[in-house]
């Protein structure tokens, strides 16, 4: 076997790297993405978020969806196109301004969202099975606390009633 054919050995990462929460979060995200791909989840996360935003806020413009997700409007247009092709959303003329359209969640989209809720929760619990239920909730709470300090889209602190929906 030539040296080029050898798989490099896996060495433990240096402690200084393991001490960086950002590196740990990025690594967990990368591994979680691989897990999601291998578990055959029906929707990609951005598609799921579009459906969840529509379910929560009702019909809204693509601009409002983009702002909620902090995505570029052109990326949201692609997502809405994909979801519309699958019958999960539809566009309708905005009665206040006929030049604009609103995006609506269809019954099929709501059904898919509910199925995706179950798929994603089961997948995450499997992926994070090294954590106890209490540690899982604590991880959610710590991540929310950290991100809320930087991004108002993630809601109020739990003491303000913003912790709803945590599993």
Nearest Cα residue to 43 out of 78, 88, 2: 88
pTM greater than 0.85 (yes/no): no
Q: Give pLDDT, residue 89.
A: 98
Q: Give pLDDT, residue 55.
A: 97
Q: Give pLDDT, residue 36.
A: 85
Provide the 3-class DSSP secondary structure of residue 87: coil
Distances (CA, A) of 34 to 62, 74, 82: 29, 26, 22
Q: How far apart are CA 76 and CA 67, in angstroms?
A: 10
First and final CA of the chain: distance in angstroms?
Answer: 50
Per-residue pLDDT of the chain (167 residues; tens, 9 = 90+): 555 556 666 789 999 999 999 999 999 999 998 998 888 788 999 999 999 999 999 999 999 999 999 999 999 999 999 999 999 999 998 888 778 889 999 999 999 999 999 999 999 999 999 999 999 999 999 999 999 999 999 987 555 444 444 44
What's the CA angle centered on 96, arms 93 and 102, to 5 degrees?
A: 35
Q: Give pLDDT, residue 74.
A: 95
Q: Which CATH class is domain 41-121?
A: mainly alpha
- Residues 65 and 54 sit within 8 Å (Cβ to Cβ): yes
Q: Give pLDDT, residue 157.
A: 56
């Amino acid at each position: 076997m030539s040296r080029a054919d050898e798989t490099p050995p896996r060495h433990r990462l240096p402690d200084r790297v393991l001490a960086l929460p950002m590196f740990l979060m990025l690594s967990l995200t990368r591994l979680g993405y691989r897990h999601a791909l291998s578990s055959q989840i029906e929707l990609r996360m951005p598609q799921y978020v579009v459906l969840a935003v529509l379910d929560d806020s009702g019909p809204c413009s693509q601009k409002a969806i983009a702002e909620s997700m902090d995505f570029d409007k052109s990326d949201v247009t692609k997502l809405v196109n994909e979801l519309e092709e699958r019958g999960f959303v539809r566009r309708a003329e905005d009665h206040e301004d006929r030049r604009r359209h609103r995006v609506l969640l269809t019954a099929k989209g709501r059904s898919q969202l509910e199925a995706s809720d179950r798929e994603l929760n089961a997948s995450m619990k499997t992926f994070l099975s090294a954590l106890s239920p209490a540690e899982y909730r604590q991880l959610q709470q710590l991540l929310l606390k950290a991100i809320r300090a930087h991004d108002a889209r993630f809601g109020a602190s739990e003491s303000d009633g913003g912790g709803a929906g945590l599993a």
